[in-house]
Structure 1
Amino acid sequence: MTTAVTGENAAQRRTALRALLAKPLLTAGADDETLRLVRRHVADLREWLAAETGWRLVVDTDSARLFKTAGNGDDGTHPARDGKGRPAFGRRRYVLACLALSVLERADAQITLGRLAEGVLVAAGEPELAEAGIEFTLSRRDQRSDLVAVVRLLLGLGVLERVAGDEDAYLTATGDVLYDVRRRVLAVLLTGGRGPSTVEKSGHVDRLAELTSEPVPDTDDLRNRALRHRVTRRLLDDPVVYYDELTDDERGYLVGQRHAITRRIEQATGLVAEMRAEGIAMVDPDDELTDVRMPEQRTDGHVTLLVAEYLARRARNGEPVALDRLRTHVRVMAREHETYWRRGVTEPGADAELLAVALDKLRALRLVADVPGEPPAVIARPAIARYAVQAPTIRTGPADRSTRKAHPK
């Protein structure tokens, strides 16, 4: 009985940790069952996260917040979206999100979308934003749409809870929306190691680095602990961790400790380590801990797979492939698969749109990287080799003859 209970507890802890990795902010109402599971095992989860990643876990009656620190601060391949399949957030939406949070911080327990928009409009009038080229008015539908996208993101995060009304009515100027402001959730939304108002440096990259900076360790034990945290974060967050993208000390530590580190991750999360000469990927057999899936069905998924296969054939030589060359390949594939793909794939300019979607996904999965310079080009990364197509193998036996079709590695 004791063994069964221990095994059940381990499985529950694994489920709770996987839920936090997939969704670092769990809220009451939307995630009640998972939240109960996290509360039940919060002590063990905090202990493992503190030892292996250095991430904090804060749990209260309304939420469970995993304060993650990105292992790679300059990765822009996983932008915010206000729902699956929605356009990625751009610069203006991110600015509006920050302004909306500042308005909500001072708001009453309830607020309407119209009142929120007015507050954002006032905040957007600051001279510093105007000098940075940020403009926001309520007169244009596209800008109102940007604000609605921000609100829907906050609804998904649990910061706002809709009481009455609909955002589409606001867009068409036929109605308004009333929200409850969930202050406990709002208070744990920011995940930086310090308050944004204390950051003194200028420039986006420098400010972000200062916002997420951590104390510099001054002993060998603390340095090794910091290295373990950094490489474990990368293994948990990145689809692939390539050795050539790590610092010398990170690479040396990971090469020497890779079996111990990946074993601890496997036991805690159920991920499976795939170790190659070029790096390590933690693979999820259940295909749950990712926001980008491949392969996928439908047109965009098929295009991405075909582009990956095309690039995989060139991965061994390490040769850059110009985007114009890829566009030509996509045009050929569009004519070949026109019957099965969505309408308009052979129209002028459609190849560029299809290729852009495919490359965004391949970048996010760390399967390609951009090559600086002209003409624009990408280079296939080693992990893309799994999408290379092998030649058919004909097997002849004494009693039967079978053919194995070409398949991804």
Structure 2
Amino acid sequence: MTAIPTFELADYQRAARTLLTHPLVTQTYPNPGALPAIRRWAAELREDLLETFGYRLELSRTTARLLRTLDQLDESQPARTHTDRPFDRRRYAYLALTLAALGRAGTQIALSELADAVAADAIRIAGLGLSTERAADRAAFVDAVAWLEVRGALTLADGSARRWADDPTAGEALYDIDRDVVRAVYRPTRVLQHLRSVTALLTTPTAHSRDTRRREAGHRARRALLERPVVYYDELDQDARNILRGPHALGDVERITGLTTERRAEGVAVLDTSGAFSDRRFPGTGTVAQAALLLIGEIADRIEDIDAAPLVRLAAPDRRVADLAGAIDAGLPSGGVLGELADQDEDAGTGQHGEPEDERENTGHPLLEDGWLAAVLAGLLDRYGSTFAAAWRADPARLLAAALDLLAELRIVVRVEGGVLALPLLARYRQVMVEVRRRKAEPNLFDFGETSE
């Protein structure tokens, strides 16, 4: 790793965190100061990120693009609309078609012209289409355009996209196109017409020599620390597990990111007390986060209750890519696949690096059943319901599902049929104190208080 003077280390780490959090950095995204900071440390970042994680950094006139290597599919970081709603399949399709249309355009384009170009391509895709006469289609298309605008691929020169979305006959928008950003937004590692499955985009070990195999295992282990909320040893292959248990892997990550790591018997987590490096902060604010933290306390108490009946313990289900890959592959237009070229790579990119099951240390995790969880949440609502948002109080089942989804996303629990399994990370939060601020009750219209004679 490169030598950074101590007095400049914080600036270097800030640039590294920006790049790791936002693999595409432009003149305006995520903020105007990000790109100059990365340019200042470009040589050091390029060397360190490649050596430590296997990531490649590319710089253009208006962009810094980190080409990450993926070891597994991850649905936890979707593209989002300006209202923070995850993109659906239609919006993803419009985004891809918009990028294709912008690649054929000049330096400026009108929103209606861009919509017509996308519509011409969308009509050839079964079940898609784009009609500017349908408000839902216009809204989805404008969400895709807005996503690109935020990142600087498009800059509004005149007009309003929202006015066009409300009424395309009364509104229009004109955009400047940054071709460097358009090219940098989507950089597949493989030609898509060569793929039969999305798993071919995942990295596959290619090493034959012992040293190369060890280097690739080190990359996988350190990437896992960045890409996952917690890394459990029993979810890694043996080579990556050995690296992560060694003395150097954690130090390398800490030095680049400026964050701290916490090692337990079951695994390792990177701790971000500022929340600036995380896409999901926990503990957090809001009804769902508060309910999730309260649930953790109840689950921990149940696990440690020596007077209660012993809980059933089950092994956590394997985190295989097959189910998610199957759902994604269902949308792959097989007519566009070049069979001969695809067959050459049919076995590539399974996302599996060895077999972690061979040396599993997992002796089983306690099962908390759905009925018990529902009863616990009902009790929490009785005690703390006045502090929760009214919409969540009115729908306990939805609140429970949302809280468990959050805990599952953070790998604190894992969903199984009939309930959840409590994973080791749950123990870290069992002593966290929840500050509950009770809202003042609204005064009754006919409550005149006490009167004295």
Counterparts of 1:324 and 1:191 in 2: how far apart (Å)?
Answer: 46
The alpha-carbon deviation at position 364 of structure 1 amounts to 2.4
Residues 199-210 of structure 1 mapped to structure 2, 5 A cutoff:
199-201=194-196, 207-210=197-200
Instruction: Tell me if the contact between 1:274 and 1:281 (Cα under 8 Å) persists in the aligned partners.
Output: yes
Report what 2:402 is aligned to: 357
Q: Distance in 2 between matches of 1:103 and 1:328?
A: 53
Q: Which residue of 2 aligns with 1:216?
A: 206
The Cα shift of 1:346 comes to 3.3
1:80 aligns to what SS in structure 2? coil
Kept after mapping to 2: 8 A contact 1:335/1:346? no
For 2:434 and 2:198, the matched residues in 1 are separated by: 46
Name the counterpart of 2:32.
Answer: 32
Contact 2:57 2:65 in 1 (8 A): yes
Give me the whole-angstrom Cα distance separating, in 1, the residues matched to 2:239 and 2:76.
Answer: 25
Residue of structure 1 in register with 2:325 after alignment: none
Q: For 1:246 and 1:285, how far apart are their aligned partners in 2?
A: 26
Q: 1:14 corresponds to which residue?
A: 13
- Relative distance call for 1:314 and 1:177 in structure 2 (3 A) is farther
- Aligned equivalent of 2:277, options 276, 280, 289: 289
Q: Percent identity?
A: 32
1:54 counterpart residue number = 54
Shift of 1:76: 1.2
Secondary structure of the 1:65 match is strand
| 2:107 corresponds to 1:109 | yes
CA distance in 1, matches of 2:172, 2:50: 44
Q: Contact between 1:69 and 1:192, CA under 8 Å: does it hold in 2?
A: no
C-alpha distance in structure 2 between counterparts of 1:326 and 1:143, whole Å = 40
Matching residue's letter, 1:271: L
Q: CA deviation at 1:366?
A: 1.7
1:180 to 154, 176, 180: 176
**1:171, CA displacement in angstroms?**
2.3
Contact 2:109–2:174 (Cα < 8 Å) also in 1: yes
Q: 1:161 to 1:380 in 2, by over 3 A?
A: farther
Q: Are the equivalent residues in 2 in contact too, given 1:292–1:364 (CA < 8 A)? A: no
**Which whole-Å CA distance do the structure 2 matches of 1:49 and 1:38 have between them?**
13
SS in 2 for 1:339: helix
Give the TM-score, by structure 1 length: 0.83
Q: How far did residue 381 of structure 1 move?
A: 1.5
- Which structure's relative contact order is higher, taking Cα pairs within 8 Å and 6+ residues apart? 2
Q: CA deviation at 1:200?
A: 3.0
Q: CA deviation at 1:278?
A: 0.9
1:205-284, aligned counterparts within 5 Å? 207-214=197-204, 216-255=206-245, 257=246, 259-284=247-272
CA distance in 1, matches of 2:269, 2:100: 38
Structure 1, residues 236-274: CA drift from partner, whole Å, max 9, x if none? Answer: 22110111111233223322x2x2010111122111110
**Mean Cα deviation higher: 170-179 or 208-217:** 208-217
Work out whether residues 292 and 403 of structure 2, in 8 Å CA contact, stay in contact via their aligned partners in 1: yes
RMSD: 2.4
The 1:28–1:246 alpha-carbon spacing in structure 2 relative to 1, beyond 3 Å, is same
Shift of 1:329: 3.5
| Distance change in 2, residues 1:330/1:191 (3 Å) | farther
**Alpha-carbon deviation of 1:323?**
4.2
Aligned to 1:76: 75
More off after superposition, 292-301 vs 266-275: 292-301
Q: Structure 1 residues 215 and 101 mapped into 2: Cα distance closer, same or farther (>3 Å)?
A: farther
**One-letter code aligned to 2:397:** A
Larger displacement relative to structure 2 (289-298 or 306-315): 306-315
Matches within 5 A, 1:19-168: 19-30=18-29, 31-71=31-71, 73-83=72-82, 86-126=84-124, 129-130=125-126, 133-134=127-128, 136-168=130-162
Provide closer, same or farther for how the CA distance between residues 186 and 322 of structure 1 changes in structure 2, counting only shifts above 3 A.
Answer: farther
State how far apart, in whole Å, the 1-side matches of 2:153 and 2:111 are: 14
1:137 deviation in Å? 3.5
- TM-score normalised by length of structure 2: 0.75
Bigger CA drift: 290-299 or 275-284? Answer: 290-299
Structure 1, gaps ≥5 residues long: 202-206, 391-404
- Please list every run of 5 or more consecutive structure 2 residues that lacks an aligned counterpart in the other structure: 305-310, 312-364, 436-453
